[in-house]
Amino acid sequence: MIPERPLFWKGIPLFHIRFFSRDFFGRLYFVLGQGLGDHVNGFRVLHEIRTRFPKAHCIVYADQRWEDLVCRISEIEIRWFPKAKDVLSREGTNNPYDQAHEEIRTEIRTMKEPSYLAYAHFPMPDRYARRETTLEATARSIGLSLKEAARPYLPVKAEDLAWAEGYLKEHALEAGKFVLISPYSWENKRWGKENFSRLIDALRDRFHLRTVVVSYPEIGPFGNTGVVCAYDLSLGQISGLMQLAGLYIGLDSGPSHMAAFFDLPMVVVFIEKRTFPFEVRPLTPLGLYVVESFFSTLSIPGVETVLGAVTFLLSLKKKSPIPECPMCTKLMQYVLSAADPVSVRLMCSCGSSIEHDRTSSVHVKKKTSCPATKIVEKTGYNFVEQSWTLETLRSVESSIETNAPERVDFLFSKTDKREWGVWDLPPGSLDIRPDSIWEWMWRKGYRIERIDLGQDMTRFSFARGKEEDRHHKTLERFRIPWGNTLLVAAEIQYLRWFSYETWGTPGSLVGIVKAQAELSSWPAEIRGCAWAAFLAQKSMRSFRWLIKGFLGGLKRQK
Ligand SMILES: [Zn+2]
């Protein structure tokens, strides 16, 4: 949901697009994140605001490393951050923001014209439960719903494209018939040069695609046949090549966010597990995100899995895009595993996954195990399935809608997330997670009645009730299995803040409380969330936030 009134962040008043007319003439501050990806995502909000409020005086704090792009945006006042740490040199600051915030705070206080902060790192605290990117969640804080424009923004120039066309000619490359690879990033996000090298050979052998590598020269040359090492290009030149490439493969790094601006199919390999891929993913409807090592015992995704993702992406016709999740309708963009060339297991951010088979005549792998046996019960109705398919789901759905049973139970077997990527299921098999079912049942008018934690199974019982009963039920607190811990939360609280069990780590729960406190809102909920975070993981950090949340709540009540 979009906030109904302007918020404050760390005491600084935020802009809110619904509260001002097109004639707004005041000052708006934008504090872009330090990285290249942060910049192109921030450009989106800047672009949308400038389009809606052409008379506003936009002041943008930016990093000089990306000057090439920043200076392309006309009619803004640019203020450079102090020098930042980067991939190559370890000198510089990791936090250039404090000084900017202080400056903004002072100016807003002293300026006569209306002045607001329009962009900084102030994403809404319910972003995890909504599985949003930081861009979407930050835009929402100022009342901006991006919809189709939920993509990074890149100021492109015609001369970039002209340069790239010349470059292709020079290297005997054909537009749309080459892959652009960006293999360099911070050490904890790298996939390894050897893996990229194997990928480049496989792309040539299987798809007759040549590869252009864009990188810092520090990675060293690639000796693969047909490869072009395009090192040390300007960001503009890279954007020119992106416009002509047929496919992009990269990491959780800046160039991937640049590529997401274009209608370019892309595969992004996620390595680092500290951030949630859904939060930092390059936003594009044409991308697949390989997260195999998040849901398997592998330390990094395998080459075959990345190739499987590429094969699947290249097999899609323009009119049959990446499939939607049958539970929540988001795109199933996360690749858990792939057995190229047979099948690829695609997951939605809600946790549900489906095995896709592109070649139905191909021999189906034997069924070896089943992730979750689920039983739906209702007097007179029993659905017992070893493994669900879309058909099972539809028949369950139509039974619920036609018969409106008083009570529906779902039984989930307890599974280790590190096994999700290796389930060997037949094509069409659907694995559904409790969060997916819970939200799905909520939309059908059912409320959770009880959760029975068994030895190997957990039973979620949903009930249809009168409106007042339902309201009462939403206040009751449940013990909810959540990763390797238990969350104590009421239904409405769970669905609003915590329904990201697929990705969640107990430590991340404090992040919700922190965001609530920084945006100084939700006084009634901050204590409940702080308490849930503390119970899920009793640490000094969660204890500190429990105290802060409690004091914050008291202060509000006065
Ligand atoms: Zn989903």
Q: What is the pLDDT of residues 253-294, one digit of tens each?
A: 999 999 999 999 999 999 999 999 999 999 999 999 999 999
Render pLDDT for 357-379 as a digit per residue (tens, 0 to 9).
765 433 334 344 444 545 555 54
Asked if residue 502 belongs to a domain, the reply is no
Band (pLDDT 50/70/90 cuts) for residue 554 is low
Is this structure's pTM higher than 0.85? Answer: yes
* Cα 327 to middle of ligand 1, angstroms: 5
What integer pLDDT is reported at residue 74 of this predicted model? 93
Q: At which of 147, 168, 184 does a domain end?
A: 147
* Cα 450 to middle of ligand 1, angstroms: 23
CATH number for the domain that contains residue 296: 3.40.50.2000
* Cα 252 to middle of ligand 1, angstroms: 22
By the 8 A CB rule, do 508 and 518 touch?
A: no
* Cα 334 to middle of ligand 1, angstroms: 11
* Cα 351 to middle of ligand 1, angstroms: 6
* Cα 282 to middle of ligand 1, angstroms: 18
* Cα 150 to middle of ligand 1, angstroms: 18
Asked if residue 316 belongs to a domain, the reply is yes
CA trace torsion 208, 212, 215, 220 (10° rounding): 70
**pLDDT more than 90, % of the chain:** 69
CATH number for the domain that contains residue 20: 3.40.50
The domain tally of the chain equals 2
Mean pLDDT of the 507-524 span: 90
Q: What is the mean pLDDT of the chain?
A: 89
* Cα 332 to middle of ligand 1, angstroms: 7
Check the CA dihedral 318-286-176-249 and report its sign: negative
Same structural domain for residues 139 and 53?
Answer: yes
* Cα 497 to middle of ligand 1, angstroms: 16
Compute φ and ψ for 14, nearest 5 degrees: -95, 150
Tokens describing residue 281? 């993913």
* Cα 14 to middle of ligand 1, angstroms: 32
By the 8 A CB rule, do 182 and 256 touch?
A: yes
* Cα 330 to middle of ligand 1, angstroms: 5
* Cα 439 to middle of ligand 1, angstroms: 9
41 residue type, one letter: N
* Cα 456 to middle of ligand 1, angstroms: 24
Asked if residue 358 belongs to a domain, the reply is no
Same structural domain for residues 128 and 191?
Answer: no
Asked if residue 260 belongs to a domain, the reply is yes
* Cα 349 to middle of ligand 1, angstroms: 6
* Lowest-confidence pick of 114-118, 304-308, 416-420, 468-472: 468-472
Q: Which domain holds residue 196?
A: 158-322
* Cα 163 to middle of ligand 1, angstroms: 41
Asked if residue 53 belongs to a domain, the reply is yes
d(CA 408, CA 414): 19
Cross-strand bridge partners of residue 211: 179
d(CA 345, CA 334): 8
* Cα 89 to middle of ligand 1, angstroms: 40
Q: Please list all protein residues whose beta carbon sits less than 5 angstroms from ligand 1, which is an ion.
A: 325, 327-328, 330, 348, 350
C-alpha to C-alpha distances, 216 to 183, 190, 230, 285, nearest whole angstrom: 9, 13, 9, 28
Asked if residue 300 belongs to a domain, the reply is yes
* Cα 530 to middle of ligand 1, angstroms: 27
Asked if residue 303 belongs to a domain, the reply is yes
Same structural domain for residues 96 and 198?
Answer: no
What integer pLDDT is reported at residue 386 of this predicted model? 59
Q: At which of 289, 322, 355 does a domain end?
A: 322
Query: Is the pLDDT at 336 greater than 80, yes or no?
Result: yes
Same structural domain for residues 78 and 103?
Answer: yes
Same structural domain for residues 275 and 306?
Answer: yes
What integer pLDDT is reported at residue 362 of this predicted model? 34
d(CA 135, CA 127): 10
Same structural domain for residues 301 and 167?
Answer: yes
More confident residue, 557 or 343: 343
* Cα 377 to middle of ligand 1, angstroms: 23
What integer pLDDT is reported at residue 214 of this predicted model? 97
Band (pLDDT 50/70/90 cuts) for residue 550 is confident
* Cα 433 to middle of ligand 1, angstroms: 9
Mean pLDDT of the 207-217 span: 95
Mean pLDDT of the 317-344 span: 85
Same structural domain for residues 230 and 91?
Answer: no
187 Cβ contact list (under 8 Å, min separation 6): none
Asked if residue 334 belongs to a domain, the reply is no
Render pLDDT for 9-20 as a digit per residue (tens, 0 to 9).
988 999 999 999
Render pLDDT for 15-74 as a digit per residue (tens, 0 to 9).
999 999 999 999 999 999 999 999 999 999 999 999 999 999 999 999 999 999 999 999
* Cα 246 to middle of ligand 1, angstroms: 28
What integer pLDDT is reported at residue 23 of this predicted model? 96
Render pLDDT for 76-109 as a digit per residue (tens, 0 to 9).
999 999 887 776 777 777 788 999 999 999 999 9
Tokens describing residue 137? 């969640």
Tokens describing residue 95? 């936090």
Same structural domain for residues 142 and 179?
Answer: no
Q: SS3 for 356? A: strand
What integer pLDDT is reported at residue 369 of this predicted model? 45
Same structural domain for residues 83 and 184?
Answer: no
